[in-house]
Structure 1
Amino acid sequence: MRWLVAGSTGMLGTDLVAELGRAGHDVVAARHADLDITDPVAVARRVRDVDVVVNCAAWTAVDDAETREADAFRLNATGPQLLARAARAAGARLVQVSTDYVFDGAATSPYAEDAALNPVSAYGRTKGAGEWAVRAETDDYLIVRTAWLYGAHGACFPRTMARLAGERDTLQVVDDQVGQPTWTADLAGLIVRLVTAGAPSGTYHGTSSGQVSWRGFAQAVVASLGKDPAMVAATTSDQFVRPAPRPAYSVLGHDALATAGVEPIGDWSQRWAEAAAVVLEPSGQSRA
């Protein structure tokens, strides 16, 4: 099976290329310099001889999208549309990575895969548009929503917390936003399992199980460094106002995975216990 990974040098793309290599798949790793997903000619040329296309390329600067929504739309909606169109023409399956930001965060129980979208930020709107475009262009797709991603190959919350914990005696972290910290290596594995299992076309949630606040996650990070978790004090989102609103509740349900017979990612705390040494390693070595 031949895979094309768009956005192959990002935090998720790097782990996905490594996971596919370990599994013995033929991988075409496409950086932005290799493939502009908003260029229809380039997309059609790259996709025509592969079996699976995974789109890890995206505009992820959430706050910047508030003032540059048109630019974010090109990458997050037009790009997936072109990839889906080319995948359909080539007879390939498309995997589109999406986000919890397509929801408003007002729920009190895990969002189902078919819950109504109601994004409250420009980033969320553009990613929701990307989902719609994929469904409109092809019948052979997997939309995989994820949230609170961290990994060894890019800037992420645990690395930031680790750096700050080395510089300060106390940290203040919001305790009123709840979600599912998800290791990119785990998400990469889930994507491969979904495709190789022949999961039906549809939307799936690729997040860890369980839930925790950002403060709780920060405490787990600090504990991994051998420091006292009590150094992380609670604060509220009101104290850290940012241009784009963050969903207060980003917990996603995994019923579609169960229906497809694909095991979901384990509890976030157990996964962090395995990921910590890799993610916090200065050299950023990937999991063996």
Structure 2
Amino acid sequence: SFKVSIIIMVYARRKFASIPFNRDYLKAKYQVKEVLNFSFSLLPSVMVSALMHTLSLVPTLLWVNGIIDYPFCCLFYFSAHSLNCILTKLTLIACHKGMRQRFQLLFVARLRFRTPRMVQRDAEQEGKEYFDEMRKAFDAGAKMAPASDYLFLSIETLINTISMAIMIPCFFTLLRTQGMHGNCKVLLVTSAAVQSFLLCVQTALFAHNFITENLLPATNQKEAPFLMVQNGLFTMSSYLSLSLVLERTFAIWSAAQYETSGHHLFPLFLMIGGSIAMAILHVYAIYW
């Protein structure tokens, strides 16, 4: 995606300069200019995504070589992918003028700070209830996982929850931004939806680990359904990024006709359906 984005930028610059300034070529010139601006905005997002995916491989390699434990590996691995979901979308919104203005209009301009109301609290009663619950938990004698495992899971869950909360305004910003072609917007919204679902699956995995009080390697059958869906969503997200770059390439090749046309449902269906097929193939290659 990174290499194709650079090629699109160079080609769009040359084509934009070669299109004459007259009424007949106005729509084609507008479409090429929009693709050029979007390519400039997409390039930093692709770089951030590549960096975060590369960093997520480091704890995996350390765990495979026995240098760190599995819970410690999960802490950095899942956190890197959670941060990747929001950083790529925030970078795209920050670099794209239309998305940035829409984000400021929808969320920044509506922020209002209110003085929180003071609530009367009985510290003594709260402390008594807290230690009573702690005593019941210790008296039960349940078999618990090491404290470090719960600490790592808590950090993972916190980062993932924050990422989910930040994805909500990003999703609405992509949905409400004007000036983009319908095909581009459909792919962007689909990519954001896939990443949001990925965050939900990771949260479900963390909840599963909390409930079972057990952290086992990735090949464990109890965690296998979560990990299969997670790997499938990773593949879908990468394939949609590549599809978005290809869609921008097609927009340059037939700029005038593409600007006046609506949604091309069949190519979109092939791209989104192809991402699902690639995800299934990737999961099959890993687990069977």
For normalisation by structure 1, the TM-score amounts to: 0.31
Higher strand share goes to which structure? Answer: 1
Query: 1 or 2 for the larger relative contact order (CA 8 Å, sep ≥6)?
Result: 2
Larger Rg: 2
Select the structure that is richer in helix: 2
